[in-house]
Structure 1
Amino acid sequence: MSMHRVLTTLSCALTAVLATAWSGAPPTQPARPAAATVRIHSGLVRGATHDGYRTFEGIPYAAPPVGRLRWASPRPATPWAGVRDATRPASACPQLAGEVPGGSTEEDCLHLNVTTPDGAGPAHPRPVIVWLHGGGFTTGAGSSYDAHRMATRGDVVVVTVNYRLGALGFLAHGGLPGSGTFGLADQQAALRWVHAEIGTFGGDAHNVTLAGESAGGYSVCAQLTSPAATGLFERAIVESGPCTGTPARPFAPSSVPLSTARATGADLAAKVGCGAAHDVLACLRRVAVPRLLAAQDADQQPAYASPLLPGDPAEAIAAGRLHHLPVLIGNNHDEGNGWAAGIIQAGNPVTPDTWSDVVSAFFSSPGQATAVVREYPVHRTDGGPVFGAVIGDANFACPTARTDALLTAQVPTWRYEFADEHAPPLTPGTPPFPLGAPHASELPYLFDLGGRPRDLTAAQHRLADTMIDYWTRFARTADPNGPSSPHWSGQTVLSLAPDHIVPTHTAVPRHHCAFWNTLG
């Protein structure tokens, strides 16, 4: 089994564990009875007022992708009469239980949420950040990210987006227009909605930053190289979703060839009894959502060699075929530790005696496996962190460094590494070893996940404020620097830790990137 497939499968399992981090706690600021009503092209929407900001949740940006619109490009939302209630989230897109408690089977899910600070209005428009959630392209929801701290401290309008997931978002089949890219097309439809409507909410349609984490970060990479996204955003933020790989891991999991996606689609059709149908697509459109979810492959990505995504984003960026706009990109210091801990807790100890076998399960080449064991020796008590370093370095830290190098040669680029070794845990229970700053651990510093703030120390609160300042200044001016924060140079990696925010040149050696860049 390849490292990529193992990691994708483990990502789904980890997302299920992370459900407690996002799940339905009451919002930090309960809505007051007073409401805010605005008019958009589809009709009137009534949001909620809070202390210092307003929220408008569950706004349709496209028609429900049901019936003949299942696996079709997004169509405009249908206008409504009267006033639409936008005081609570709408349904998440179909997915198994995980980040969204109980999962979802509701296809009418193409909605977004707007958080706007007091004072924002058509006469005083604010920068806009459009957030794409992570979740391995199979789970997640925009409503899981309470953005009021970013909106109020940064004085920006934040839009969080649902997009089609799993097979419903990325099915590919011969003769099906849009094959393998429906979820990406949804993201572009949401960006077009922002351009048309965000001024009503006090946002500047000409100052839009597209941001995302994990699968959301990979989505930003795809949109950076999609001709159809031209003019839809002015800046990009990529968190833990590197656009390129390394020689050992040559392709980031942001996309797969269309031929691979079609083979996956054929397998799905066969599993649900449509493989031999006279009209395979008509048969698939009649299959109930729960059955599709049960049958879909855990490994889901958009397809390239398609009209929306002509080439692999990694190759496109290396060749300079991208939208030339500023990028803020980074990773977490210990990205792989969550996966390593999950593998160990599943009954797979990592010891000096087992280490060679563990590595061999991730690398098909015996020569690569031997080289990894030599580069990352395991001693008696450090098996978990060493295993986590292999996963994190190979799949996040070094690909991020490579992406940064390619981007820096072409566009203004700022790179960070989130390094709070005591970041609040996103999972319950006690891990088999300290996780440090694993995948997704930076998110509570930017958002209240599930509307619930994390317990942060005073120093961590300061770090959260500083990160929001950097992110939102970048969205405002394309330069994250300001008088109240340590200077961030485009030639260094900014290490983000409580009371220790410093530029560094040591990130690449620390992550063994010279090794990964030569391991073929």
Structure 2
Amino acid sequence: MQHVRLPHRRGGALLALLLALLSVTSVTSVAAAAPPGQRTRTQDEPVVSTDHGPVRGRSHGTYATYEGIPYAAPPTGPLRWRAPQPARRWEGVRDAGAPGPKCLQLPVFGPGSLTGSEDCLYLNVTAPAGRAPERGRPVMVWVHGGGFTGGSGSEYDAGRLAARGGTVVVTLNYRLGALGFFGHPELGDAPSFGLADQQAALRWVRANAARFGGDPHNVTLFGESAGAISTCAQLTSPTAAGLFHKAVLQSGSCTTTFPRGAVVPGTPAFSFSAPQKAVQDAGAAAAARLGCRGPGALDCLRGMSAEKLVTPELSQLFSTPAYGNALLPEAPDRALAAGRFHRVPVVQGSTSDEMRLFVGINLDTYPLRNEHDYRARLTDSFGASADAVAAEYPLSAYPTPALAWSALLTDATFACGSYRANKALAGRVPTYAYEFADRDAPLVEGIPVRPGFPYGASHAFELAYLFTAFPLQKPLTEAQVALSDRMTGYWTRFARTGDPNAPGAPRWPLFRDRDPLTLSLAPGAGGIRPADFGAAHHCAFWERQR
């Protein structure tokens, strides 16, 4: 699948917005359900001295939180569309009992006003209670998803990872949409500001992790969806060298792409990177539409209110990292295939039914009722290859056309993309592949129930097994809680040692090119087991279609 030039990305940007659905819907509800000021806590308020001044956190018994810590100066006024600058020192003890503002964003679906602030470069630290070992605890830095247009770090409660796993967890905000991924000729080859923000947060972690009991020489970068795509980009970024020592990619990789019409018929094929020149051209065209032309156009744009810049059109247009700059010299998928990436251990995986979420929430608008609908979508997406895809995914093998379409999209996008990326990684670094396969995973509140269309183990459904406080439509069963505990153990053991295996846990084999086994993660006896992921997801077939 080819890269799509940015000016023609309207349909692809819609897919990027769709990737935000679960994180934005679910975590907004989390924030409403459990605001920091109402959390149960003791009277103890721990104070930690950072390199910019002391912060007062909140104790939660087995762990403590420190929220809303600035890791860079507010990117406002003359600092809009500039590399993140150092935060100012503060006098006295800064209260860190509530998160800072999320970065400016619009609702993913339906009408609504802007939320968040342009002053948004804050992070949050969750640390286990008690004295840290002399060498410090492993540090895990979370990059949130949201299609590069939504979400925030504070929406993920890392108490389980900290308390059960003995890790220091950092969640962060980064600039989004037109404020984070804008380009313009006057900016030259400036990298995507959202990715630069992530690196600035990692530099903060390097300087401050030990103060929270963490080991700055043992940092794991991890993320989901756009956060995983960001993590893979950082794996290939020369300017990220030494900032992290392990990586976990959940449902997103350097090779994640969408075929034409994947969710909305007629929309172009889409990949999560764009040439620098295409981003610059798109920025110049957008500036002209806003009345900012010729020399000084960038100053004109910097003088505008954020409300004129964070619009649906611009947020959709600028939702892709740019390559051809110092941070990303080349497209991340090409760098990965060529072996130009940091030599760190990697965990990478996806869910069994990634695309059911996106197909399911759009069935009212884009129904798949019968063979005619199915064939029409195949022809729109695959053209001359439609017959071959139909033969590989015959309707007779699936209960409904919608489930058949979801299965082939899952394989063509996330599943075989991560499989191909794992093959590129495995010859050079320790690589562990997983598939979240709990097809009875509970839905997050707000996702519509569709009789006859089970969502299964869909996109982002594993998040509730790692982060606490997600508002689910039904609670986890005893077996699912056990799976959650096991996953937490795997993730944090990997962060500690670079190998997720621990005594008493089912063995997680290395992914090798000659023996490409993936660990299937499902509840119940025998639910955690090695599986032939490539065969299950028809990856040899999709490789032939490239």
Q: In the superposition, relative to structure 1, how do residues 305 and 10 fare at CA in structure 2: closer, same or farther (>3 Å)?
A: closer
Q: In the superposition, relative to structure 1, how do residues 487 and 390 fare at CA in structure 2: closer, same or farther (>3 Å)?
A: same
Q: Please give the alpha-carbon distance, in whole angstroms, between the structure 2 residues aligned to 1:381 and 1:238.
A: 31
Q: Please give the alpha-carbon distance, in whole angstroms, between the structure 2 residues aligned to 1:30 and 1:221.
A: 37
Q: Please give the alpha-carbon distance, in whole angstroms, between the structure 1 residues aligned to 2:135 and 2:62.
A: 16
1:118 shift after superposition: 0.8
Work out which of the residue numbers 14, 25, 31 in structure 1 matches 2:33.
25
After alignment, is 203-212 or 373-382 more displaced?
Answer: 373-382
Question: Partner of 2:336 in structure 1?
Answer: 317
Q: Please give the alpha-carbon distance, in whole angstroms, between the structure 2 residues aligned to 1:197 and 1:507.
A: 40
2:219 counterpart of 1:208:
yes
Work out which of the residue numbers 9, 17, 21 in structure 1 matches 2:14.
9
Instruction: Tell me the TM-score normalized by structure 1.
Output: 0.93
**Amino acid aligned to 1:493:** T
Q: In the superposition, relative to structure 1, how do residues 176 and 246 fare at CA in structure 2: closer, same or farther (>3 Å)?
A: closer
Question: Partner of 1:406 in structure 2?
Answer: 424
**What percent identity do the matched residue pairs reach?**
45
1:197 shift after superposition: 0.7
Structure-to-structure mapping, 1:294-443, within 5 angstroms: 294=311, 295-299=313-317, 300-363=319-382, 366-379=383-396, 381-426=399-444, 427-432=446-451, 433-443=453-463
**Amino acid aligned to 1:43:** G
Question: Partner of 2:309 in structure 1?
Answer: 292
Q: Please give the alpha-carbon distance, in whole angstroms, between the structure 2 residues aligned to 1:514 and 1:448.
A: 37
2:503 counterpart of 1:486:
no
1:358 shift after superposition: 1.7
Q: Please give the alpha-carbon distance, in whole angstroms, between the structure 2 residues aligned to 1:452 and 1:349.
A: 27
1:368 shift after superposition: 2.5
- 8 Å CA contact 1:277–1:283 kept in 2: the answer is no
**Amino acid aligned to 1:25:** A
Question: Partner of 2:478 in structure 1?
Answer: 458
Question: Partner of 2:533 in structure 1?
Answer: 507
Question: Partner of 2:80 in structure 1?
Answer: 70
- 8 Å CA contact 1:243–1:252 kept in 2: the answer is no
Q: In the superposition, relative to structure 1, how do residues 469 and 60 fare at CA in structure 2: closer, same or farther (>3 Å)?
A: same
Q: In the superposition, relative to structure 1, how do residues 18 and 223 fare at CA in structure 2: closer, same or farther (>3 Å)?
A: closer
1:287 shift after superposition: 1.8
1:243 shift after superposition: 1.7
Work out which of the residue numbers 489, 493, 496 in structure 1 matches 2:521.
496
Superposition CA RMSD, Å = 2.5
Q: Please give the alpha-carbon distance, in whole angstroms, between the structure 2 residues aligned to 1:197 and 1:516.
A: 45
Work out which of the residue numbers 225, 233, 243 in structure 2 matches 1:232.
243
**Amino acid aligned to 1:308:** L
Question: Partner of 1:46 in structure 2?
Answer: 56
- 8 Å CA contact 1:272–1:292 kept in 2: the answer is no
Instruction: Tell me the TM-score normalized by structure 2.
Output: 0.89
- 8 Å CA contact 2:346–2:429 kept in 1: the answer is yes
- 1:212-236 superposed Cα distances (whole Å, 9 cap, x missing partner): 1000000011100100001001100
Q: In the superposition, relative to structure 1, how do residues 4 and 264 fare at CA in structure 2: closer, same or farther (>3 Å)?
A: closer
Structure-to-structure mapping, 1:244-283, within 5 angstroms: 244=255, 253-274=271-292, 276-283=293-300
Work out which of the residue numbers 71, 90, 93 in structure 1 matches 2:103.
93
Q: Please give the alpha-carbon distance, in whole angstroms, between the structure 2 residues aligned to 1:102 and 1:472.
A: 38
The secondary structure found in structure 2 opposite 1:354 is helix
Q: In the superposition, relative to structure 1, how do residues 485 and 122 fare at CA in structure 2: closer, same or farther (>3 Å)?
A: closer
Q: Please give the alpha-carbon distance, in whole angstroms, between the structure 2 residues aligned to 1:370 and 1:36.
A: 63
Q: In the superposition, relative to structure 1, how do residues 461 and 376 fare at CA in structure 2: closer, same or farther (>3 Å)?
A: same
Q: In the superposition, relative to structure 1, how do residues 145 and 451 fare at CA in structure 2: closer, same or farther (>3 Å)?
A: farther
1:317 shift after superposition: 1.1
- 8 Å CA contact 2:80–2:302 kept in 1: the answer is yes
Q: Please give the alpha-carbon distance, in whole angstroms, between the structure 1 residues aligned to 2:82 and 2:332.
A: 23
Unaligned ranges ≥5, structure 2: 261-268, 512-516
1:389 shift after superposition: 1.2
The secondary structure found in structure 1 opposite 2:231 is helix
- 1:76-104 superposed Cα distances (whole Å, 9 cap, x missing partner): 001111221100111001111249x9652
1:293 shift after superposition: 1.4
- 1:424-482 superposed Cα distances (whole Å, 9 cap, x missing partner): 11243312500100100000000025688971000000000000000000000000000
Unaligned ranges ≥5, structure 1: none
- 8 Å CA contact 1:326–1:478 kept in 2: the answer is yes
Q: In the superposition, relative to structure 1, how do residues 77 and 304 fare at CA in structure 2: closer, same or farther (>3 Å)?
A: same
Question: Partner of 2:183 in structure 1?
Answer: 172
Q: What number of residue pairs does the alignment pair up? A: 515
Q: In the superposition, relative to structure 1, how do residues 510 and 451 fare at CA in structure 2: closer, same or farther (>3 Å)?
A: closer
Q: In the superposition, relative to structure 1, how do residues 456 and 247 fare at CA in structure 2: closer, same or farther (>3 Å)?
A: closer
**Amino acid aligned to 1:21:** S
- 1:474-515 superposed Cα distances (whole Å, 9 cap, x missing partner): 000000000121001113200000023433342111111111
**Amino acid aligned to 1:415:** A
After alignment, is 421-430 or 137-146 more displaced?
Answer: 421-430
Q: Please give the alpha-carbon distance, in whole angstroms, between the structure 2 residues aligned to 1:458 and 1:247.
A: 36
Q: Please give the alpha-carbon distance, in whole angstroms, between the structure 1 residues aligned to 2:258 and 2:76.
A: 41
- 8 Å CA contact 2:252–2:414 kept in 1: the answer is yes
Q: Please give the alpha-carbon distance, in whole angstroms, between the structure 2 residues aligned to 1:254 and 1:213.
A: 14
Q: Please give the alpha-carbon distance, in whole angstroms, between the structure 1 residues aligned to 2:402 and 2:11.
A: 17
Work out which of the residue numbers 108, 123, 130 in structure 1 matches 2:141.
130
